[in-house]
Amino acid sequence: MSEEHGHHGTPAPFVFSVAVALMFIGLVMATAGGENNEGDTGYWFVFILGIAGMITGFMMWIQDYWDQDSEEGVEIVGYHPFWASITTRKFGMWIFLLTEVMVFSTLLSAYLRYRAAIPDYAPNIDCGLEFEECWVPAADIIRSHLIFGVINTFALLLSSLTVVLALYAARNNNSKAATRYLMATFFLGTLFLFLKAYEWWEMKNGHFWGDQCSVTAGQDIANHCIAPKYEHGFWLDTSLEGTTFYITTGTHGAHVFVGLLALGYLIAKANKEGYNEKYNDTIELFGLYWHYVDVVWVFVFPFFYLCHLYTYDAADDMPCVDLGGVRVCT
């Protein structure tokens, strides 16, 4: 690769990494830090600073690669045909995605660990006055508004298709079609975040249920909307159920947000006819990332939206579980 077009080092990854750390520190301390773990509002500044740093790092990356992404990348030296077909950029993306697998594996494993350790609600278990001793999952709250999760799932799966169509159009020298498909992907991703933000807001303020849905300790909540500890809302610091739900879905939402930033860059580049039959690897690399984000949601959705709490059949005293509205007893 010539020196004129060769890629050079950029501080963008370092800036972005530090900003992500600041964002999470600010979020945790603002919602659950300070005295009595009630949150310190002063840390919202750190959270906003982290968001600004993420955007800054991303813009630095765009500036560095705007005129360079027509390079297909250096092929990895090797004798096997498999390695000869992989560029350094694609290899780097796969390594990055492997590290991302570890991130979400940790989050989902933590959820399963706590779900297994804390007993599910049952009429014969003493859950405490506010059901604080039992696990009442987020799915028990969301089931009355499951349509949001269903629409989001459909939107992400459809967006994977539009990314593939954008790459196909670019490889056929159709910049206009590539731009349209990338814009469709951007719209679907934005729809996902909008519905997710609305869902969070409603859950935080307890708008998914009313007073008639609350119950007192000792009552069967199988046919009710909500456990007493969630009467006033379901948030990050409300319970361990809330912590696992918001951290996992929030981390996924952050990945969608980063993807939208990247899409903005791709749309601008495609609109200038920057992608064609020869130079289209940036769309392909983004597609790998976007497909990964979609696959993660395929796991998050059933874990947090479909797996309801265990109940008991009154006639046979058999443990049952609600799966997406279908009651299964064993």
Task: Evaluate if pTM is beyond 0.85.
Answer: no
> Is the residue at 52 inside a domain?
no
Q: Which residues contact 266 (CB under 8 A, 6 or more apart)?
A: 166, 182, 282, 283, 286
Q: What is the pLDDT of residue 243?
A: 84
- Rounded CA separation 130/326 (Å): 27
Check pLDDT > 80 for residue 234. Answer: no
Q: Which of 63-67, 109-113, 138-142 has maximum average pLDDT?
A: 109-113
Q: How many domains does the chain have?
A: 1
> Is the residue at 128 inside a domain?
yes
Cβ proximity of 135 and 115 under 8 Å: yes
- Rounded CA separation 179/275 (Å): 10
Q: What is the pLDDT of residue 323?
A: 41
> Is the residue at 21 inside a domain?
no
> Is the residue at 26 inside a domain?
no
SS3 content of the chain, % helix, strand, coil (to 5): 65, 5, 30
Domain boundaries, position 309: 69-329
Q: What is the pLDDT of residue 78?
A: 47
Cβ proximity of 111 and 248 under 8 Å: yes
Per-residue pLDDT tens digits for 138-191: 776 776 677 888 899 999 999 999 999 999 999 998 989 999 999 999 999 999
Check pLDDT > 60 for residue 77. Answer: no
- CATH code: domain of residue 121: 1.20.120.80
> Is the residue at 42 inside a domain?
no
Average pLDDT over residues 289-318: 73
> Is the residue at 112 inside a domain?
yes
> Is the residue at 55 inside a domain?
no
Q: Which residues contact 70 (CB under 8 A, 6 or more apart)?
A: 274, 279
Per-residue pLDDT tens digits for 274-295: 788 888 888 888 999 999 999 9
Q: What is the pLDDT of residue 295?
A: 94
Check pLDDT > 70 for residue 32. Answer: no
Average pLDDT over residues 90-104: 85
Instruction: Please choose, from the candidates 304, 307, 312, 306, the residue with its C-alpha nearest in 3D space to the C-alpha of residue 330.
Output: 312
Q: Which residues contact 37 (CB under 8 A, 6 or more apart)?
A: 237
